[in-house]
Chain A
Amino acid sequence: MSARVSSSGVAFGRRTAAAVLASPVLTLLVFFAGPLIYLTWVSFTRADIVGDGSFTFDNYAEVLGEPIYRSIFLDTIVITVTAMLILFLVAFPIASFLAFRAGKWEIPMLLALVLTDELNPLIRLYAWQIVMNKEGVLNRFLEAIGLIDEPLTILFTKTAVVVVLATGSLAFVVIPIYAALKTVNRSLIEAARDLGAGWVAILREVLLPLAATGFIAAIIIVFVPMLSDFASPAVVGGREGYMIASLIEEEFNARGDWGVGSALSFVVLAISAVMVWMSIKISKVGRLQA
């Protein structure tokens, strides 16, 4: 890309570049970088009742030392990773259907997916609360087909949070994988088939590696926001489905302990960074691009 830009005669001068980029960069610095830097400072100060204290590691010591916090971190990771794996399992077949076999249904299906993304997430959450209720549709249905005798407790469990997270962002997992698969040259698949590859081999050796960029994009735009989600645990998670974001919300609003709240926020940032890094490593995107 950069070669094309620099070789072209259309490139504008540096002064114009500065003029064009000034307002977005300034907005970013003042309202994004500024608050994050100040939040970093808050996470290193004791700022409860006494007022702005001096530099301390207490918040991080507390956050990383207390076993209660650690079990909440672990629960959060288990819940979000499970949801993400389910999303991949559901999204990959849908994305490959969309990319290779949908035909005239391709655009209507894409439109439907985009639509689900535009629907209000809080309304969706509310609807799922009704679905998973003790007297809810799900229990009624399972009873009707004779699978269960008495209503299951689904609402206010980890499972409920996983269900809500996994159904909330399907569009954003399908679309990047679809976009990645769409660039796959069909003849590659045919070549693999002619060389005697079964569908498992085609999947493993051709489609999944080529769709890797789509998976990474999905992890960035879906998994990371899951870690920020405190509405879902609050509405369907109850005590059992309590997550790290719920904890942060509580520190900031109910307890007013901004130091610990900020430190916890940076733990969220660290977890997201590690997850994105790990997914890049696992999918070997670097090797593919090299």
Chain B
Amino acid sequence: MEHAATDGARARSARPVVRQVFWTIHRRELVTRVASAIMLAFGALILFGPFLLLAFLSFNDSQILAFGFRGFTTRFYEEALGDAAMRESLRNSLVVAGLTTPICVVLGTLGAFGIARFVFPGRGLVAGALTLPLVVPSLLVGVGALVTFSKVDVPLSLYTVAVMHIVVGFPLVMAIVTAALFRFDRSLEEAALDLGATRRELVWYVLLPYLVPALAAAAIFVFGWSFNSFTVTFFTVGSERMFTVWVFSKLRRGTNLPTVNAISTLVTFVTVVVVYIAYYLLRRSAVRSGQDVRSLVAGGPQQ
């Protein structure tokens, strides 16, 4: 009887001890978890919050900035899509990005092959020079193009924009493709040559299929970059309309512009869908050629 009582007492006093041990081991883990959760939530809020706010405002039936919901409307979407200047700017931006992307992919891939697969004197210098457009502030690229085009009497147009987008865009492709080429297991290339493949066949049947995910990722990045580019576009566009420049001209004037909310929400929505589809396709083709989809984004976390 006495025994049982002491046992019970011991058990009762042991429980807080266990809890204490549990806490000292897990407190750090718990603190880290809570801190990470708060940090991630904050990150998500500052990254996506503003876009969600625009979406909310675009459906809110109110001309002025009002956060109370005044009723659901799609009239701002109708107004926005009816705006000819906006439609033209959007079309021009898409055309320029569509024109720029394939050229950037070709130039960038050539550059990457030249740097990653050839040995020649001055290779480091050429490699460095070809990454310069990514390092030099885009402001200089923009104003440099502006003064030069005016000097040689080339009127500013969508073509001048496209040319300058190509100049900054292809080094971006080159960086991604070069990283992929350096990740490639070169013994496979040697195996192909040993088995009697010509160099042309090596490129067509071994390297290019391997590069497909990297090229696709690069194309998506460049297209997005061109569509979203502002600084270079602004200085080389002249009197043509481009989407970012159109938004900028609106912003300099007013604050809450319901039609801009609507078109912004539309563009954001399309971007989200496109990025998701692109990711899905990329992951599939990356898996098929035995690559990690993460390496396409982060340039190759090893292992």
Interface residues in chain A, defined as those with a beta carbon under 8 Å from any beta carbon in chain B: 1-2, 4-6, 8-12, 14, 16-18, 20-21, 23-25, 27-28, 31-32, 34-36, 38-39, 42, 90, 93-94, 97, 99, 101, 106-107, 109-112, 114-131, 133, 135-137, 140, 167, 170, 175-176, 178-179, 182-183, 220-221, 224-225, 227-231, 234-235, 245, 248-249, 252, 258, 261-262, 265-266, 268-269, 272, 276
Contacts and interface: CB of A to CB of B under 8 A. Distances in A.
Interface stretch (B4-12, B19-27, B73-81, B108-116): B108-116
Given A6-B119, A175-B297, A227 B137 contact: yes
Considering the complex of A and B, which 9 residue pairs feature the smallest CB-CB distances, nearest first?
A: A182-B301, A127-B50, A35-B144, A228-B139, A21-B114, A17-B118, A179-B298, A24-B111, A35-B148
A110 B126 contact: no
A263 to B, nearest CB: 11
Contacts of B255: 129-130, 133
B177 to A, nearest CB: 11
| Chain B at the A interface: SS class | helix
Interface in B279-303: 279, 293-294, 297-303
B1 interface: no
Interface residues of B, number: 98
B251 A97 contact: no
29 contacts: A11-B117, A12-B118, A14-B118, A14-B120, A24-B107, A24-B174, A25-B111, A31-B163, A36-B141, A38-B144, A39-B140, A42-B147, A90-B39, A101-B36, A109-B40, A110-B298, A115-B275, A120-B243, A120-B247, A120-B271, A127-B53, A133-B256, A137-B67, A179-B298, A183-B301, A228-B231, A248-B139, A269-B137, A276-B135
B236 to A, nearest CB: 10
Given A8-B190, A252-B143, A272 B137 contact: yes
A107 B293 contact: yes
Contacts of A117: 224
A27 B126 contact: no
B133 interface: yes
B244 interface: yes
Nearest to B37: A97
B54 A12 contact: no
